[in-house]
Structure formats: structure tokens, C-alpha cells
Structure 1
């Protein structure tokens, strides 16, 4: 059985996360806002408040503060000293990038335990006793990647996030098997700092309401198709005595058919897309 040194796991995990996070960033689309080495200005302000210190720019965060914030807010909160090597790092990286609750949800879904975003004895036991930690890491990161793709900021930051997950997976699985050999560092963060990925940026699911309006659902529903059907029903008796009215009725039949087919197709797409977003983010 692999012997875990919690101090070592935190130290090497922090070193990897800092490489992934990069330096200072304040991208207008980043929900984290001003961020230095993964610590946002809001988190830094709260930390300085607890220390009885005045606020200052996160650009000036020192090494002791940085380590204290990472240890207390992102490592200890998730009780990562209790987790297997590699798994603790993967959860830690997610904690920093998307928040502790969200990262723990990915872990719990991968384990198949109650997903409440809080690490308790059941979550720890399930992780420790999991028969294949390489596979567990892959499952955690699959949930994470699906979540990231459901964010409206994916088109902007997706390339960096995907590279980060690839690097995290390689490192986590190596550590899970006891391999301490140096691993390549993802180069994207050295060029461009990583950006936060929060649930607040989940893109809105398409609404099937347009499809429902197009396909009707009964005249009482007031749907567009139902309204056209009403007009068609009223004009049909007159079509026998007027070529113009007959052509209008034929046109209405065609329009109604197109609306129905298009509405059904869009309704299928909208419900499928909504289900995928729900699966990735709930």
C-alpha cells in the first residue's frame, strides 16, 4: 500500500497548480477578475480582513500569504490530506480553478456517492477504497471538462482549460501510481495565465418554448400553429368558390407543415442541449 506524506502532497501539488495558474491576469471576461497566481482580489481582500490587515492589490501578495491561502482555503477545506496521491492533486487543481464545492461535486459524481459538494467520511472512504485511482482521475476530469464546455466563456478560454486538464491528468495519474519523475509542464500558462471557471458562467440552455409555439399543442394553447389552423379551418369552406382563397389555404397548409417539422426538430435539439447542460452542471 502506498504511504502518503500529506506535507509532500501539498507541496508538490501547489507547485504544479502555480505553474498552471501563471502570473497576473485581469481579463474582462474572467469571472475571477484581478487574479495573481490563482488568488483573486476578492479572496485576497477576505484573507487580509481576517488578518486585520488593510487591503492592497493582489499583485503584491507575498509567498507566505499565498501558501496560507492555498493551504487553508483550497487544501484543508476539502480535507485533501485524507486522499490518495494524485487524486488529492486533481481535486486541489479543480478547487483553485472552479471553487471547492464545484470540484468536490466532480469527485463525488465520479465516485458515485451523494453529491453535495462537501467532503465527509463517505467521500473519503470511497476515494481511498477505489480500485483504480487512474480511472477515478480520468472520470473526475471528464466531469470537469463537460462542465467547462457548458460555460459561455469556453470559446475564449477553452483552449487553455483543455491543455490544463490534459496536464493535470498526466500528473495525477503518474502520482497515483507512485511515479515521482518530473513531468512536462503545460506551456500555455507560462504564456497566458489560466482563467477562472465558475458555475455563474454556465450558458443558458435553449428554450423549447419556440418549438412548442410552432408545433401548437391545441388551439387553446394560443400557439402559432394553432392560430394558423384556425385560419385554415375558417377559409377552407370558401376555397371551393374562390381560386385565390384555395391558394391561400394551400399556402397555409404548407406553412403549417414547415412549422411543425421545424418546430419538432428544434424542440428535439433544445431539449437534448438542455439535458446535456444539466448533466454537466448539476
Structure 2
């Protein structure tokens, strides 16, 4: 849809990602604002240090999120709620895994590449039903991970919160515009 969807989705994702974490049970390793040391290393083109991960700010991670996750899932081409749900999935589980989840929800070939076939299938489906199917499939994937016993409760809460926010976004964007009302404040416009 529009670039403003990314700007709206980014703080929602960051709220789930939180701040600094050095949990040895986390396969991502040192992480801050959802950016792992591995992702930062790829971004920098060299091995990152834990100090560099700790020093990350919202301003420094936003371009990483945009390029490595949002653009890879073609968030601007997706309906707002679906774009947010897929973006959160990509950040939490990887862009390829998220796209495979979407493709499985759509019943199209699941190569992990969001191309014209996947986008055409998205255009033919009800956005809210697709958000539900994507979130359901995401939970199935997460429950199969060996780290589910440690992180599962938080992941399940996150997926349900993402589902709720994504469905709200889909409802907002699907609501018809009333030409008799002010689009900003909702008051009736005098004829």
C-alpha cells in the first residue's frame, strides 16, 4: 500500500522486539531493538561487536528494517494489515520463512519469493481471512521449534497481538470514505 504503513508498523514491531538481550538460549545471539548481531554484521559488511549491537537506536535500525525486511516482503504492495502481519513475521522468523507462510496461506507454490503470482493471489483474497490464516500458520511453525518451551508463551502472545492490530488496520483501510464527512475529524460537512 503506502509507505506510511511501514511507519505505522515499525513501532508495533519494535514494541515486541524490545531492547537489549544477550540471552544465551536465543539462537539469534546478542540482539537490540530486534536486530541480531548477525543481521547487523550483514548490514555493516563486517563482523559487528556486542557493543555496536548495544548502541543501536530506533533511528539506526529503521533503515535495516526497511531494507532487510519490509522491502523483501514488498510491504508497500500489500494491504496495510497484511503488510504489518507479514513484516512482523519476517522480523521474528526471517523474510523467506514469512513469505513461505503467506504462500502456504494462499495455497500457491512456496518458494519464499514474493513475486507476481503471490501478489495476484493476495489481490484475490479477503485480507482479514488471509491475516488469520497467516497468523495461524505462524503459530504452527513456532510451536514446532525446539525453543518453543522457552519462548513460546511470549511468541504466542505476540502473534495474537499482531493479529489483532493487523485486523484493525485491514478494517480501517477497507472502510469506505464518506464524502459527507471530514476525513480528519469525522464531522459532517455542511452542504
1:27 corresponds to? 23
1:167 aligns with 2:161: yes
Match of 1:108 among 93, 103, 108: 103
Aligned equivalents of 2:163 and 2:48: distance in 1? 39
Aligned equivalents of 2:57 and 2:142: distance in 1? 30
1:142 aligns with 2:136: yes
Instruction: Map 1:133-282 onto structure 2 (within 5 A).
Output: 133-178=127-172
Count of equivalent residues? 173
Note the C-alpha offset of 1:42.
1.2
CA RMSD in angstroms, aligned pairs only: 1.8
Instruction: Map 1:10-21 onto structure 2 (within 5 A).
Output: 10-21=6-17
1:119 aligns with 2:114: yes
Note the C-alpha offset of 1:65.
2.2
1:196 corresponds to? none
Note the C-alpha offset of 1:54.
7.4
Aligned equivalents of 1:37 and 1:8: distance in 2? 20
1:89 corresponds to? 84
C-alpha change, 1:109 and 1:48, in structure 2 (3 Å) is same
Aligned equivalents of 2:67 and 2:170: distance in 1? 23
Can you list the C-alpha shifts for 1:115-139, whole angstroms capped at 9, x where unaligned? 1000000111111221x21111110
Instruction: Map 1:41-52 onto structure 2 (within 5 A).
Output: 41-49=37-45
Task: Between 41-50 and 25-34, report the one with greater CA deviation.
Answer: 41-50
Can you list the C-alpha shifts for 1:158-182, whole angstroms capped at 9, x where unaligned? 1000000110000011111117xxx
What is the TM-score with the length of structure 2 in the denominator?
0.86
Match of 2:5 among 3, 6, 9: 9
Match of 2:75 among 56, 63, 80: 80
What is the TM-score with the length of structure 1 in the denominator?
0.59
Higher Cα Rg, which structure: 1
Aligned equivalents of 1:91 and 1:9: distance in 2? 12
Unaligned runs of 5+ in 1: 180-282
Note the C-alpha offset of 1:8.
1.1
